[in-house]
Amino acid sequence: MAIRNIRKDEDPILRKKAKKVEKIDERVKTLLEDMRETMYDADGVGLAATQVGVLKRIILVDVGEGLLEMINPEIVKSCGEALDEEGCLSLPGVNGVVPRPEAVTVKGLNPQGQEIVIEAKNLFARAICHEIDHLNGVLFTDRIVE
């Protein structure tokens, strides 16, 4: 395992769309391990592969309810709207109020390649949406309303 560099500010990779993971091989598993170590080392609650310079559709989220590792995440349902302040490991020192769904249903694959469906609310839903935005080249600053 290794701590990877988190891409910051105007790094062009943060604006690129990540590609679907076609095969969960040792490289993907190593990336997941490195992302875990990197996220926890940086005291983050989420991390997308693009933030460590890899254009793969992989996210991690841990808001204190346990670690979610998801490959090829896709929001299949959302409801409600909540405004709350966000920050980002890729934009240190920047915060802003962002509208996000109150609840989301997300499907994807776990590290073993099995399909999983997650129902998330509040901060957990917000963090998942934030990380999926990263996979689409969208930063939270694009969504700030206050």
Q: Would you kindly state where each structural domain of the chain is located, as residue ranges? A: 12-142
pLDDT along the chain (146 residues), means of 10: 93 98 97 98 97 98 96 98 97 97 98 98 98 98 94
pLDDT at residue 32, rounded to an integer: 98
- Please provide the DSSP assignment of 54-123 as one string: --B-EEEE-SSS--EEEEEEEEEEEE--EEEEE--TTSTT--EEEEE-SEEEEEEE-TTS-EEEEEEEHH
Specify the pTM: 0.97
**Known catalytic residues?**
131
Tell me whether residue 36 is exposed, middle or buried, using C-beta atoms within 10 angstroms of its C-beta: 0 to 12, 13 to 18, 19 or more.
middle
Answer CATH for 12-142 from 1.10.357.10, 3.90.700.10, 3.90.45.10, 3.55.50.30: 3.90.45.10
Distance CA 75, CA 105 (A): 6
